[in-house]
Amino acid sequence: MSASLERGLNLWREVLDTPSASFFMSCVHCGLCADACLFYTETGDPQYTPIRKLEPFRRLWRQEYTLLGKLAAKLGLSRPLTDETLAEWSPLIYDSCTLCGRCSLACPVGNDLAYLIRKAREGMAVAGHAPQGLIDATRRTIESGSPMGVRPAAFMTQVRKQSEASGVSIPVDQTGADYLVIMSSMEIIGFPEYLGALARIFRQAGISWTVSSEAYEATNSGIQIGVSDLAREIVMRIVNAAEKLQVKTVIGPECGHAFTALRWEGPNLIGRPYPFAVVHVLELLDQLRTDGKLHTTGQDDTPLTFHDPCQIVRRGGVVDPPRRLLNQVASDFREMEDAGVANWCCGGGGGVGANSRADALRFTAFKRKKSQWDATGARTLVTACANCRNIIEEGLEHYHLDLQVIGLTELVASRLTPPANETETAAS
Amino acid sequence: MAPPLTFLDYIDQHGVSRRAFLKFCAAAASSLALPTGAAAEIAARLGNMHRPSVIWLSFQECTGCTESLTRSFAPTVENLMFNFLSLDYHHTLQAAAGTAAEAAKATAMRENAGRYLVVVEGAVPRRDGGVYSTIAGRTNLDTLAEAAQHAAAVIAVGSCAAFGGIPNASPNPTGAVAVHDLVRDKPVVNVPGCPPIPVAITGVVAHYLTFNRLPELDHLGRPRAFYGNTIHDRCYRRPFYDQGKFAKSFDDEGARRGWCLYELGCKGPVTYNSCATLKWNDGTSFPIESGHGCLGCSEPHFWDAGGFYRPLSTPTRPVAMAAAAAVGAGAAAGAAMVLHNRRRKRRAKQDHQPATVNDLEKK
Amino acid sequence: MDAMTFLLWTRGPGLQIALALFLLGFVLRLFELFSLGRPPDLAVPRPGYRRGGWRTLAARSLPAGTFARQAYVTYGLSYLFHFGLFFSLLFFAPHILLFREIIGISWPALPNAWINAWALLAIAALLLMLVQRLIHPVKRLLSTTHDYFAWALTFAPLLTGYLAFQHALLPYTWMLGIHILSAELLLACLPFTKLIHFATLFVARWYNGDIAGRKGVAS
């Protein structure tokens, strides 16, 4: 069974619902969504207006689910949707949208455009119009377990290395642990210190936790490409491992779409609630802080600012924890303009980073984050999503900028009060 | 036989001086909005005028227009002028009756052929051959046709003659129509009102007698001099309208303060007449000044304009039934769409083949 | 046809037809909207999530900081127009009498001078919005015949209403009849145009707020 236009349109028919219809009915073509989207503001190209990206999807809704639309179609007064149309719209739906949801905040009639784009990708993908880079990443995830090809052995190697580096033995496949830690491939390959940092924090707080040798991949390429069938398969791996290990809570790592996939979409993908809870690592760290179990010494006095990962803050609801944590460990934390729920996207989430067709556009869009950062005067940027981190680092390289990006968990861990015996060792 | 009396002789006989006469002519010229020289011209012509023949036809009417015209508290020149007319046929005012009256009419029409004026009071029924109003065994249709044939002009006095008025009101069982619907080949002037202001009638007659033509008319055939402005445009309560001060019910605080009567159904804004300026009973008052909204009686269909006490912005027909039917129809169409959409979605779900990675690329 | 006959038609059958078409279309579209349903959300919502939809329903009417600053012309003109429309439609005494007749309730009116000023602002705003729609690249790309038709449908009653109130341009009876007819055209066509957003925006905002509220975000 291969991709086809009819499969795509059929999927569109299936996913259209009342919220979607209310959005299409309410849109008045005011264009305010464009002013909220960094792909428009940094290029000035009106084709990147969010609601415009949804035009074929809207036409399908109108032609199939409204009386007037049906009549118009029957009378030959409306343009039928063709494969060419979908092909033409593929860059708009995949290259110029990260599902960041800023447009959804801006729309005066309340349209959640990111919600619509997510659904639109369902049809586009099975019609064969997803970008190749994303298809490849999804294939690797399905076939090897990770979009970047990280196999279990590679993961276990990192676990061992981080155990050594942190001086904490990292539990593996411990049935009955309270928490299951999963990671994104980007962290495993690029920022494995995250695991070591967690190990030290959890030791200090006395957390019972484990990793799973079978399910360590949090990234869900299925969500990004917009194929729920595949997203379901990917998320089930984590669900199965969590249920097998009988953990109480799964911790979402510093990866935006992983959190969206597991915390918010997962139960709906698999059709049932989880028997375990899901928290984001920042939520857990903030809880430890509140409970007095996060002991840090001193503060970093480097001027630093924070980039809000879209899927964690605006679309994930983890808004205040990063700030509270930063205020504990940093003395010169400066919020950038529009910080918080209305912050601007790094430009590389939602599959855009894996889509080489979108590179040029992504680097142009990055100018927004750059200018936000510049205005703070800080040379260091903290974030809590490995993909954002990678995208920002690639952006800095593109613009030849010598600035530093660090992860929040790592930063917190770097300020951890050493345990008693370690202090003596350090002193001696 | 004595030489025919001129109008000047006539008023002189009734004790009206030439000076008073000239003042009247100036006033008439002014109220007709004629240029300054016109006063002298009116004086010259009127002064030398011989008694014109007027045939007054009464059809579906209440005689209110005649009553209005003849109601006068002091002898006025208009009044005298009216008396000067040779009113050769008028049901209410004539002395004769029956065949004698009909004979007098026929004689006047014959002797003054081409010069007499026809005044019509009342509407004319058309249904069933016009049997619903007959005089001397003849339908009004016939009577009007005969009179108009050799008339110089026809003056339709009152809203019934001008527009059909009350007989014409829904459901119009007699098929009543206005004069202008029947008389096509003679000049017709409408002097509407229920009744018209007396000077509107006499002003038209005066103008015709003086200049031998009817005054400037608006698109509904009404003399612009008297029907050029709406009541609203000249109403002394207009400032209250502009300020948004309305009486809400009769004898409430607003009513007692003389506020605008829009909410009590005043049709002033759409009614063209002189009530607000000339008023009634020699300038005593007019409905609004007495605290009652204008009925719009000089306009077509005033009786069917949605109700005298219903404001202008309200519907003239009930909407509840239409609304209920529409909601029902919308729900029916909507239910059909619900069935259709649900079915379509269900089918789409059934046709859904779970996607594999290989499905993402076209073969 | 004379002015009075025309006016009486608009106040009589015209209104019946327009109101019927409006209600038929509106009910139909509501059925269309809700027919598609919404699958239940099985993810555990954050505390206070029940407020989310209602909060956004109201809050989206307020100018939203950074978004308003980014597009202040659009925001400004839209507020001017909507307030002007709101005041002149709902608080002008003759209109309130009409509503009382149709739906049975009434409320106090605002002074005519206030209505006059706001109607003028609304008209000016609409004209500027048309200009903006024609020259702003985003709006120009998005706009179709439908948008301009909806603009005309909205502009006509405002303009003709203002002219009627001022007794300008045409004799009042004609002007009033044309104004009422233009409002009836707007009513009849409304459910099938984007102008239905006057009602559906509450649904859209509610869903937006609900989706975000379940995640603990006040959208």
Domain ranges of chain A: 3-130, 138-290, 304-414
Summarised one tens digit per residue, pLDDT across range A113-167 is 999 999 999 999 999 999 999 999 999 999 988 988 888 999 999 999 999 999 9
Please name the residues between 182 and 211 in chain C that touch chain B, using a CB distance below 8 Å.
none
| Inter-chain touch B362–A135, beta carbons under 8 Å | no
pLDDT averaged over chain B? 88
Q: How confident is the model at residue B4 (pLDDT cuts 50, 70, 90)?
A: low
Task: Judge if the upstream peptide bond of residue A152 is cis by omega within 30 degrees of 0.
Answer: no
Q: Which of B305, B313, B326 sits opposite C24 (nearest CB)?
A: B326
Identity of the highest mean pLDDT range in A235-244, B61-70, B105-114: A235-244
Summarised one tens digit per residue, pLDDT across range C112-143 is 899 999 999 999 999 999 999 999 999 999 99
Average pLDDT score over residue span B266-295: 94
Give SS3 for C25: helix
Instruction: Choose the mutation target among A14, A65, A232, A234 for the interface with B, i.e. most B CBs under 10 Å.
Output: A14
Q: Which chains border C (3 or more CB–CB pairs < 8 Å)?
A: A, B
Q: Which chains border B (3 or more CB–CB pairs < 8 Å)?
A: A, C
Question: Is C140 in CB contact (< 8 Å) with chain A?
Answer: yes
* Per-residue model confidence (pLDDT) at position B109: 86
| Inter-chain touch A107–C208, beta carbons under 8 Å | yes
Question: Is B360 in CB contact (< 8 Å) with chain A?
Answer: yes
* Per-residue model confidence (pLDDT) at position B74: 46
A-chain residues near B335 (CB < 8 A):
none
Domain made up of A304-414: CATH architecture: 3-Layer(aba) Sandwich (3.40)
* Per-residue model confidence (pLDDT) at position A352: 95
> What is the C-alpha separation between A312 and B184, in angstroms, rounded?
84
The DSSP bridge pattern shows strands B176-177 and B124-125 to be antiparallel
Q: Which of A23, A47, A314 sits opposite C204 (nearest CB)?
A: A23
B213 Cα to chain C: minimum distance (Å): 25
> What is the C-alpha separation between B56 and B135, in angstroms, rounded?
13
Sheet holding A209-211, edge to edge: A209-211, A179-181, A249-252, A277-280
> What is the C-alpha separation between A96 and A50, in angstroms, rounded?
9
Q: Which of C12, C94, C111 sits opposite B312 (nearest CB)?
A: C94
Residue in A168, A166, A170, A143 with CA at minimum distance from that of residue A155 = A170
Kindly identify which residue of chain A lies nearest to residue C64, measuring between CA atoms: A106
Kindly identify which residue of chain A lies nearest to residue B344, measuring between CA atoms: A13
Question: Is C111 in CB contact (< 8 Å) with chain B?
Answer: yes
Average pLDDT score over residue span A14-31: 97
Kindly identify which residue of chain A lies nearest to residue B338, measuring between CA atoms: A65
Average pLDDT score over residue span A54-67: 97
> How far is it between the farthest Cα atoms of chain A?
88
| Inter-chain touch B330–C25, beta carbons under 8 Å | yes
- The tokens describing B70, both together, are 């003849």
Residue C201 pLDDT > 70: yes
Q: Which of B300, B337, B338 sits opposite C2 (nearest CB)?
A: B300
Q: Which of A16, A22, A341 sits opposite C200 (nearest CB)?
A: A22
Q: Which of B243, B262, B337 sits opposite C31 (nearest CB)?
A: B337
Q: Which of C138, C205, C211 sits opposite A109 (nearest CB)?
A: C205
Question: Is C58 in CB contact (< 8 Å) with chain A?
Answer: no
CA end-to-end distance (rounded Å), chain A: 68
* Per-residue model confidence (pLDDT) at position A423: 47
Q: Which chains border A (3 or more CB–CB pairs < 8 Å)?
A: B, C
Residue B49 pLDDT > 90: no
Residue in A373, A345, A367, A399 with CA at minimum distance from that of residue A44 = A367
The answer to whether A138-290 and A304-414 have equal CATH topology is yes
- The tokens describing A388, both together, are 């954002």
Please name the residues between 258 and 297 in chain B that touch chain C, using a CB distance below 8 Å.
262-263, 269-270
> What is the C-alpha separation between A423 and A414, in angstroms, rounded?
14
Residue C215 pLDDT > 50: yes
* Per-residue model confidence (pLDDT) at position A120: 98
Residue in A245, A284, A238, A298 with CA at minimum distance from that of residue A262 = A238
Asked if residues A188 and A229 have their Cβ atoms less than 8 Å apart, the reply is no
> What is the C-alpha separation between B118 and B188, in angstroms, rounded?
10
* Per-residue model confidence (pLDDT) at position B1: 45
Question: Is B317 in CB contact (< 8 Å) with chain C?
Answer: yes
| Inter-chain touch B335–C31, beta carbons under 8 Å | yes
* Per-residue model confidence (pLDDT) at position A392: 96
B/C interface, count of CB pairs below 8 Å: 134
Q: Which of B333, B358, B359 sits opposite A67 (nearest CB)?
A: B333
pLDDT averaged over chain A? 94
Element (H, E) at B87: strand B86-89
Asked if residues B305 and C8 have their Cβ atoms less than 8 Å apart, the reply is yes
Element (H, E) at B203: helix B198-211
pLDDT exceeding 90 applies to what percent of chain C?
A: 91
Kindly identify which residue of chain A lies nearest to residue C75, measuring between CA atoms: A32
Average pLDDT score over residue span C150-178: 95
* Per-residue model confidence (pLDDT) at position B80: 60
A140 Cα to chain B: minimum distance (Å): 9
Residue A426 pLDDT > 90: no
| Inter-chain touch C95–B313, beta carbons under 8 Å | yes
Beta bridge partner(s), residue A179: A209, A249
Question: Is B126 in CB contact (< 8 Å) with chain C?
Answer: no
Summarised one tens digit per residue, pLDDT across range C3-53 is 889 999 999 999 999 999 999 999 999 999 999 999 999 999 999 999 999
- The tokens describing C4, both together, are 């009075």
* Per-residue model confidence (pLDDT) at position C22: 98
Q: How confident is the model at residue A301 (pLDDT cuts 50, 70, 90)?
A: very high
| Inter-chain touch A128–B360, beta carbons under 8 Å | yes
| Inter-chain touch B326–C102, beta carbons under 8 Å | no
Asked if residues A321 and A279 have their Cβ atoms less than 8 Å apart, the reply is no
Element (H, E) at B209: helix B198-211
Asked if residues B189 and B155 have their Cβ atoms less than 8 Å apart, the reply is yes
CA end-to-end distance (rounded Å), chain B: 121
Residue B115 pLDDT > 90: no
| Inter-chain touch C139–A28, beta carbons under 8 Å | no
* Per-residue model confidence (pLDDT) at position B3: 57
Question: Is C138 in CB contact (< 8 Å) with chain B?
Answer: no
- The tokens describing A310, both together, are 């879209």
pTM for this model (two decimals) = 0.90
Q: How confident is the model at residue B133 (pLDDT cuts 50, 70, 90)?
A: very high
| Inter-chain touch A2–B363, beta carbons under 8 Å | yes
C105 Cα to chain B: minimum distance (Å): 14
Please name the residues between 186 and 215 in chain B that touch chain C, using a CB distance below 8 Å.
none
Question: Is B354 in CB contact (< 8 Å) with chain C?
Answer: no
Q: A138-290, what's its fold?
A: Rossmann fold (3.40.50)
**Residue C124 C-alpha from the chain's centroid:** 16
- The tokens describing B129, both together, are 């051959």
Residue in A190, A168, A142 with CA at minimum distance from that of residue A393 = A190
Asked if residues B5 and B50 have their Cβ atoms less than 8 Å apart, the reply is yes
Q: How many CB atoms lie within 10 A of CB A404?
A: 13
Residue B31 pLDDT > 80: no
Residue A428 pLDDT > 60: no
Instruction: Choose the mutation target among A4, A13, A124, A355 for the interface with B, i.e. most B CBs under 10 Å.
Output: A13
Question: Is C19 in CB contact (< 8 Å) with chain B?
Answer: yes
Q: A3-130, what's its fold?
A: Fumarate Reductase Iron-sulfur Protein; Chain B, domain 2 (1.10.1060)
> What is the C-alpha separation between A365 and A395, in angstroms, rounded?
10
* Per-residue model confidence (pLDDT) at position A427: 41
> What is the C-alpha separation between A381 and A306, in angstroms, rounded?
6
**B251 vs C190, higher pLDDT:** C190
